[in-house]
Structure 1
Amino acid sequence: NPAVAPLSKLQAALLERWEEAEMRGEAPGADWHEAILLSIAGVAAAMQSTG
C-alpha cells in the first residue's frame, strides 16, 4: 500500500533511534513511546483497508 510506505519508514526510523538510545544507556522518554505507538496504530489502521 503506497499510502503506508512513508509511515512505515517513519516507524522504522523511530524504532532504530529508540534502540540506539538504549544502547547508549539512555532511557527514551514518553514522547518517543507515544510516537512509536501512534506509528503502529497508523500502520494498523491503513492495513485494515487493504482487504
Structure 2
Amino acid sequence: MVYDVKDAAPWENGDHNGFEAGQELTEEIKNISPHGVSKFKDLPVVGKLAE
C-alpha cells in the first residue's frame, strides 16, 4: 500500500527515524520498526504498488 504521510507528525519534513517518505519501505516497516504497520491504519491510502 502507498500511504499519504504528509500530515503525519512523525513524518514531518519527509523523514522518520532515518527513513525517507516516498520510498519502498515495506521490509523496513515490517522488520525494523518497533510498531510495524499498526501506525499506518489511520493514514490515507493513496495507491497500491503493483508487482
Query: TM-score normalized by structure 1?
Result: 0.26
More helix by share: 1
Determine which structure has more spread, i.e. the larger CA radius of gyration. 1
